[in-house]
Structure 1
């Protein structure tokens, strides 16, 4: 109950901050969004481009854990995944609050789940994430970014959203490790305490998700969720 309450409070607090306390939306904000969406990237600070793309990387990282998790929940993850494409962490947090802790998986992985369970998907996300970090760190204008963070609602909210993605990852990491028989506390803490890079590395080192043989019947959802 404490976990759920904390997540709902975090969700409400983040929305309230963005709407009431974050810097205002200005004509520069709209121009920035237009430049990003229309591919005029030479007009955008590489740091902001990297953060914008890292939101997508984080959605894919969570998808590698939560589409499997959603199979065993009363609610499925896919509506929240679709919502997060447009709203980022604002659509993710409600799923984290509504889901029940679950450390089991029954049945077989379909092609969709196999893609998100594949180590090659993790490797691809690793290369993409490291490339985006390098672009932001090496080519970005940090002075301009700080100024935009302080004055632009889009940059401010998006940057904080990436921080929330990092902060919330441990809430689903433990269940995913348990489903794979990968209960190593040192790995959990190393992944949890190293933002983004730890999560990317985990997707490459985690064992494949075990699945039932074709002839076995899947367990009912109600028996696999825990309060």
Structure 2
């Protein structure tokens, strides 16, 4: 219950801040988003380009865990994971609030789950992230970015969204490790404390998820 209340309050606080307390929306924001989306990047700060594209990497990282976690949930995890491609943590926080602890995977992996469970997916996302981060850091104008962060709601909220996604991943990490029979507290904290790249390393090295039939679960001896 404490976990549910905490995530609910965090979601509510983020919504209130984003819409009522963040810097005002600036003219030309829609045009900026359109140009970022279609790759017309001329004249745009590389740091902003990198951040915008990393906000497309994060939903893929979470999907690699949420779609699997959702197999044992009463709520449709795919709905929240899909919505996160558009609104990031605004969609994932309600899922974290309503989900139940789930350290088992029951059933067969479909094509989508096999793809999300593959280490190759982790490797590809890691390479893409390294390219984006390198591009943003080497070519970016930090002074301009800070000024835009202080005055532009879109850039301000997107940056906070990115930070939240970095902080929230450990909330799903423990159950995902348990589903794979991976008991390693030191590795858990190593992944949890490294923003962004910790989660990518995890997806690249985690053991494959074992398929377990419902009949196998029912035959396990009861424990007191």
- TM-score, normalised by the number of residues in structure 1: 0.92
Whether the aligned pair in 2 keeps the contact of 1:106 and 1:212 (CA below 8 Å) is yes
**Structure 2 CA distance for aligned equivalents of residues 134 and 115 of structure 1:** 26
Shift of 1:15: 0.7
Shift of 1:96: 0.8
RMSD: 1.4
Shift of 1:218: 7.5
Whether the aligned pair in 2 keeps the contact of 1:59 and 1:88 (CA below 8 Å) is yes
Unaligned runs of 5+ in 2: 219-224
Shift of 1:219: 5.8
Specify the alignment match of 1:190 in structure 2: 190
**Structure 1 CA distance for aligned equivalents of residues 72 and 16 of structure 2:** 32
- TM-score, normalised by the number of residues in structure 2: 0.93
Specify the alignment match of 2:19 in structure 1: 19
Whether the aligned pair in 2 keeps the contact of 1:41 and 1:49 (CA below 8 Å) is yes
Specify the alignment match of 2:222 in structure 1: none
Unaligned runs of 5+ in 1: 221-227
Secondary structure at the counterpart of residue 27 of structure 1: coil
**Structure 1 CA distance for aligned equivalents of residues 21 and 149 of structure 2:** 13
**Structure 1 CA distance for aligned equivalents of residues 185 and 216 of structure 2:** 29
1:133 aligns with 2:133: yes
Distance 1:219 1:73, change over 3 A: farther
**Structure 1 CA distance for aligned equivalents of residues 162 and 71 of structure 2:** 26
Per-residue CA distance 1:165-203 (angstroms, 9 max, x = gap):
011011000000000011101110000000001110001
**Structure 2 CA distance for aligned equivalents of residues 150 and 28 of structure 1:** 16
**Structure 1 CA distance for aligned equivalents of residues 206 and 161 of structure 2:** 26
- Aligned residue pair count: 218
Whether the aligned pair in 2 keeps the contact of 1:108 and 1:211 (CA below 8 Å) is yes
**Structure 2 CA distance for aligned equivalents of residues 180 and 219 of structure 1:** 15
